[in-house]
């Protein structure tokens, strides 16, 4: 069976609707349920096996295409986020562990450099007298060099 773009979208939509219904049922029953990419892939494979015997129109045969795993993952993420609105790919963030005594200085430096908390950096908690500074990968070098230039000591990447 050749997998067409329209057929793939239909399969993914059906799977996503089933997953959302299962999550809703689990939430009502006070049970937690996690969906992995393996579950979605297995459901797609099972759905494809069930549909192998279906006949396709001439137009769908002309639209047949090969799709990579990355493209399939992107399509699934788009569809899930459209239905659910809560699934987001986590931003690549780097976490720095800094002594608490430096926290006031770090906060002042970041605000003076016009970085916004929640967008450009976040604070977290760590064990002992330390705190976590989480920054996006694209700002990692700029923020780290700023802190080092201004004399913040004992910065460790987590």
Measured between alpha carbons, how far is 32 from 24 in angstroms, rounded to an integer?
A: 10
The residues, ordered by sequence, that sit 6+ positions from 17 with a Cβ below 8 Å of its Cβ are: 83
33 closest CA partner among 43, 20, 42, 44: 20
* DSSP strand pairing (130-136 vs 93-99): antiparallel
CATH no., domain 93-157: 3.30.70
pLDDT digits (tens, 9 = 90+) for 51-87: 555 555 555 554 445 566 677 777 777 777 666 554 4
Residue 101 has pLDDT above 50, yes or no: yes
pLDDT tops 50 at residue 99: yes
Distance CA 8, CA 55 (A): 15
- pLDDT for 92 beyond 50: yes
138: which 2 tokens? 């694209």
Among 48-52, 91-95, 147-151, which is the least confidently predicted range?
48-52
Q: What tokens appear for 24 in the block?
A: 């809703």
Give domain limits for the chain: 5-84, 93-157
Residue tagged 């329209």 (tokens):
6
pLDDT of residue 156: 92
pTM for this entry: 0.44
Res 91: pLDDT: 59
């Amino acid at each position: 069976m050749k997998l067409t773009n329209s057929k793939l979208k239909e399969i993914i939509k059906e799977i996503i609707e089933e997953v959302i219904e299962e999550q809703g049922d689990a939430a009502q029953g006070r049970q937690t349920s996690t969906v992995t990419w393996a579950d979605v892939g297995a459901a797609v494979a099972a759905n494809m096996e069930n549909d192998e015997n279906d006949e396709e129109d001439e137009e769908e045969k002309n639209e047949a295409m090969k799709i990579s795993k990355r493209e399939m993952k992107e399509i699934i993420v788009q569809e899930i986020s459209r239905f659910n609105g809560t699934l987001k790919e986590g931003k690549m963030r780097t976490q720095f562990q800094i002594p608490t005594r430096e926290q006031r200085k770090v906060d002042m430096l970041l605000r003076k450099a016009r970085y916004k908390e929640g967008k450009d950096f976040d604070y977290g908690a760590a064990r002992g007298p330390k705190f976590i500074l989480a920054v996006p990968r694209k700002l990692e070098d700029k923020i780290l060099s700023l802190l080092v230039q201004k004399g913040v000591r004992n910065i460790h990447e987590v």
